[in-house]
């Protein structure tokens, strides 16, 4: 028996089964959302007090009572990892938000204006890009002091040159696109062409690169905290938890492994998700 043919002139949409990349992207998105829930409502996942210490259970190994064990002063590591997501993700999201907003604005100025503004913006961008991001962030924190806000500010400022260059390049490319020329030929005003066509298309890759940069910004924030320049103790934060536990690795490896695993999983998830978005934008997924 043969299957019925489709009516003449009617094209049936092709079914596309999700590939392995789509499944990994979905899993990564679910993981990132779980971390966001932990950052916004940590009490839902760990109702305990992250600062409460049990002197009778110092460096206790993982058990039913303490799934991730306890640290050197008896604090529950699982509770601190969950509550530490707030400071760690605040560093990452805050830094990316600052870098994206300022970098995109400067990139648009450099790509869509003429005369002296693009030259000034790009020379300042070249100066900022000449310094390694983490080194520049450490310098800024040394000037303004430690803390989550200052650390996010430092990492965000260090990331501005990258977004400036990306948006400028995209803006220059968009200005020469045929659809922009067609919009001008149809009689649209320069302002209408700018706001309807040029700027939206110039900012199109920002979401993808921001997702890719989120993991790196969170990792940089943890590095600053590891160096004592981020979230001050005893507040739970993945980087500070790592630096506090490094002296007890032989006696209680779990106090360092689980915060490090949380940081690794979050960075890997944002990277996989960002790469999937990039492939989608390029038509490869």
DSSP structure string for 101-164? HHHHHHHHHHHH--THHHHHHHHHHHHHHTS-HHHHHHHHHHHH--SHHHHHHHHHHHHHHHHH
Long-range contacts of 43-48 (CB under 8 A, 24+ apart): 45/82, 46/76, 46/78, 46/79, 46/81, 46/82, 46/83, 48/76, 48/79
Tell me the two tokens of residue 263: 């940081």
Decide if 102 is inside a domain: yes
Per-residue confidence (pLDDT) for residue 116, from 0 to 100: 87
* Chain centroid offset of residue 261 CA: 17
Owning domain of residue 218: 20-54+62-281
Decide if 126 is inside a domain: yes
Output the tens digit of pLDDT for each of the chain's 285 residues. 444 444 444 554 555 556 777 888 999 999 999 999 999 999 999 998 999 988 888 999 999 999 999 999 999 999 999 999 999 999 999 999 999 999 999 999 998 888 888 899 999 999 888 888 888 888 888 888 778 888 899 899 989 999 999 999 998 888 878 877 787 787 778 788 888 888 888 888 898 899 999 999 999 999 888 888 887 778 899 999 999 898 888 899 999 999 999 999 999 999 999 999 888 877 765
CATH at 84: 1.10.3720.10
Q: How many domains does the chain have?
A: 1
Decide if 5 is inside a domain: no
Per-residue confidence (pLDDT) for residue 1, from 0 to 100: 47
Q: CA 215, CA 138: separation in Å to the nearest integer?
A: 18
Q: CA 161, CA 213: separation in Å to the nearest integer?
A: 13
Decide if 113 is inside a domain: yes
* Residue 259: how many other CB atoms lie within 10 Å: 28
């Amino acid at each position: 028996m043969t299957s019925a043919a489709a009516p003449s002139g009617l094209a049936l949409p092709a079914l596309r089964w999700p590939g392995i990349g789509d499944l990994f992207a979905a899993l990564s998105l679910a993981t990132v959302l779980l971390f966001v829930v932990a950052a916004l409502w940590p009490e839902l996942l760990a109702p305990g007090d992250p600062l409460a210490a049990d002197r009778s259970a110092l460096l206790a190994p993982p058990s039913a009572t303490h799934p991730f064990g306890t640290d050197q002063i008896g604090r529950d590591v699982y509770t601190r990892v969950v509550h530490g997501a707030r400071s760690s993700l605040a560093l990452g999201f805050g830094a990316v938000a600052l870098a994206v907003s300022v970098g995109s604005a400067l990139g648009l100025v450099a790509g869509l204006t003429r005369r002296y503004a693009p030259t000034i913006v790009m020379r300042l961008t070249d100066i900022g890009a000449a310094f390694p991001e983490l080194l520049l962030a450490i310098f800024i924190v040394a000037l303004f002091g430690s803390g989550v806000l200052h650390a996010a500010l430092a990492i965000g400022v260090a990331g501005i040159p990258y977004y400036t260059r990306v948006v400028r390049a995209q803006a220059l490319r968009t200005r020469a696109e045929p659809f922009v020329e067609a919009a001008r030929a149809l009689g649209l005003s320069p302002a209408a062409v700018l706001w309807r066509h040029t700027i939206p298309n110039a900012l199109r890759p920002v979401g993808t690169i921001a997702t890719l940069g989120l993991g790196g910004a969170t990792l940089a924030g943890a590095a600053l905290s590891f160096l004592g320049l981020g979230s001050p103790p005893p507040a739970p934060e993945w980087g500070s938890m790592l630096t506090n536990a490094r002296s007890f690795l032989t006696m209680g490896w779990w106090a360092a492994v689980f915060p490090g695993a949380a940081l690794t999983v979050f960075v890997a998830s944002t990277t996989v998700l960002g790469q999937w978005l990039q492939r989608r934008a390029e038509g490869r997924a």
